[in-house]
Amino acid sequence: MFLEFFIVFVTLLLLWDYLSKKRRNDMLSYMDGPKPLPIVGNALAYRGQNPEEIMNFITNNSKKYGGMYRVWILQQLAVFSSDPRDIEVILSSPQHITKNNLYELLHSWLGTGLLMSTGKKWHSRRKIITPTFHFKILEQFVEIFDQQSSVMVKRLTDKADGKTAINIFPIICSMALDIIAETAMGVMINAQSNPKFPYVQAVFHVTNITARRFINVWHRINWIFRLTAPSDYKLLNDSIKLMHNFTENIIMERREALQKSLAENGKSLEEDELGQKKRMALLDVLLQSTISGAPLSNEDIREEVDTFMFEGHDTTTSGISFALCLISRHAEVQKKIFEEILEVIGSDKERPVSLRDLGELKYLECVIKESLRLYPPVPMIGRYFTEDIDILTEGL
């Protein structure tokens, strides 16, 4: 009896799997890709692989199946393209901005901020945040970049003996966290001098656990993740709660300060006692922004601040770390960079760096751009399509 039931169950499961995928398989019958297994698709190919192996797997598939190929991960169909013309069409489209479901792993932390939102909400938030990247506003932050970079250089001084090999990633990460916390929230968390600060530890925990979930196909499913990795599940949620509380407390304090300033002297946080413009953090801009005449709620603001905290430290750390690694491996490039810095900034190590100085470091700019080309901080970008899109000569 049990055997008969099992056979019927498996048969129905396979039939459901076939029918649920049939339409999409028929549409993409012309597209090559690794042969999927029933139910699991190509998920087993990712089993037990580290990030480097996964990137090699994707790269090898591109070489084997061409610039565009398809992969099944359980019930989800993914189409990979390495053709820059395809990517340009997709990324320049104002309609196709819905992220693929992998981004959902960040939802409990980031909510529906600029990275995760879509449709009207994405456009309205983009309109508010874009001015914060204006040349004049970024110029005000150069002082913070310079100060925190100097702290990092001092931390590295005793290791710069020409012999000691170090992992530069966590050192850059702490510096990036200090910078983004001060520019996004207007607070100093001192990640470089106090790496045990609870907020700093929470950021490290969440980014590390989330990175592992990106790699582990089964841990992307919440209930499986909760059952098979209960300690990680608890640490993830506790850390997110701590970060949310930290951000919300700062938002409430800054909102009260803004309301008090406006009530007492009619000045916003943008002006000091003399009515002069002062440096504005992203949080201050959001507190004074409105959508359809209504101010943003504390939750709306927290989503955007948390998004900046994640994107501002994670991708920045990766980009700088890869650039430094490449520079260390090419002595002639390192020599040219050093000579250019001496020519533009001079030998005075205490001299503050200005935005104008940075603009004159042309060779260094080329080196950074080439590093980003070779090792992009975000090597893959996912989009979920709800309507057809024409890519080259093939309709998708």
- The answer on pLDDT for 79 being more than 50 is yes
Q: What is the DSSP string of 88-150?
A: HHHHT-SS--PBPGGGGGGHHHHTTSTTT--HHHHHHHHHHHGGGGSHHHHHHHHHHHHHHHH
User: Which of the 8 DSSP states describes residue 74?
Assistant: T
What does pLDDT average to over the chain?
85
> What pLDDT, in 10s, does the model give residues 289-343?
876 677 888 898 999 999 989 988 889 999 999 999 999 999 999 999 999 999 9
Please give the pLDDT value at position 13. 75
> Which H or E run includes 71?
strand 68-73
CA distance 74 to 85: 29
Grouping H, G, I as helix, E, B as strand and the rest as coil, residue 56 is helix
- Report the distance separating Cα 242 and Cα 248, nearest Å: 10
Q: Which fold has domain 127-374?
A: Cytochrome p450 (1.10.630)
For residue 236, what pLDDT is reported? 96
pLDDT in tens, 61-73: 888 888 888 888 8
pLDDT tops 90 at residue 86: no
pLDDT in tens, 128-164: 888 777 777 788 889 999 999 999 999 998 888 878 8
Cβ atoms 301, 186 nearer than 8 A: no
pLDDT at residue 121 greater than cutoff 60: yes
Nearest to 287 by CA among 309, 314, 260, 265: 260
CA distance 301 to 364: 35
Predicted pLDDT at 274: 41
Q: Which amino acid is present at 281?
A: A
- What is the tens place of the pLDDT at every residue in 212-246? 898 887 888 899 999 999 999 999 999 999 999 99
Pairing assessment for the beta strands 76-81 and 290-291 based on DSSP bridges: unpaired
Q: Across-strand partners of 277?
A: 271
User: Per-residue pLDDT tens for 344-375?
Assistant: 999 888 888 998 999 999 999 999 999 999 99
- Give me the torsion for CA of 361, 367, 368, 374, rounded to 10°: 170
Whether the per-residue pLDDT at 180 is higher than 80: the answer is: yes
Please report the pLDDT score of residue 395 as a whole number.
47
Return the pLDDT at 99: 85
Give the range among 27-31, 165-169, 184-188, 191-195 with minimum mean pLDDT: 27-31
Query: Residue 192: its pLDDT value, please?
Result: 92
Residues 6+ apart with CB under 8 A from 151: 175, 178, 192, 193
Confidence grade of residue 266 (pLDDT, cut at 50, 70, 90): low
Confidence category of residue 198, pLDDT binned at 50, 70, 90: very high
Q: Is the pTM of this model over 0.75?
A: yes
pLDDT tens readout for residues 375-388: 999 888 888 887 77
At 292, give phi and psi (nearest 5°): 55, 35
Determine the 3-state secondary structure of 99 from DSSP: strand
The residue ranges of every structural domain in the chain are 1-82, 127-374
For the chain, the straight-line distance linking the first and the last C-alpha, in angstroms and rounded, comes to 46
pLDDT in tens, 12-62: 777 777 777 778 777 777 888 888 888 888 887 777 677 788 888 888 888
Distances (CA, A) of 133 to 138, 139, 361: 6, 10, 21
Helix (H, G, I), strand (E, B) or coil at 72: strand
Q: At CA 116, angle to CA 112 and CA 121, rounded to 5?
A: 60
- Residue 279 pLDDT class (50, 70, 90 cuts): low
Q: Is the pLDDT of residue 277 over 60?
A: no
Amino acid identity for residue 256 in this structure: E
% of residues, the chain, pLDDT over 70: 93
- When pLDDT is cut at 50, 70 and 90, the band that residue 271 belongs to is low
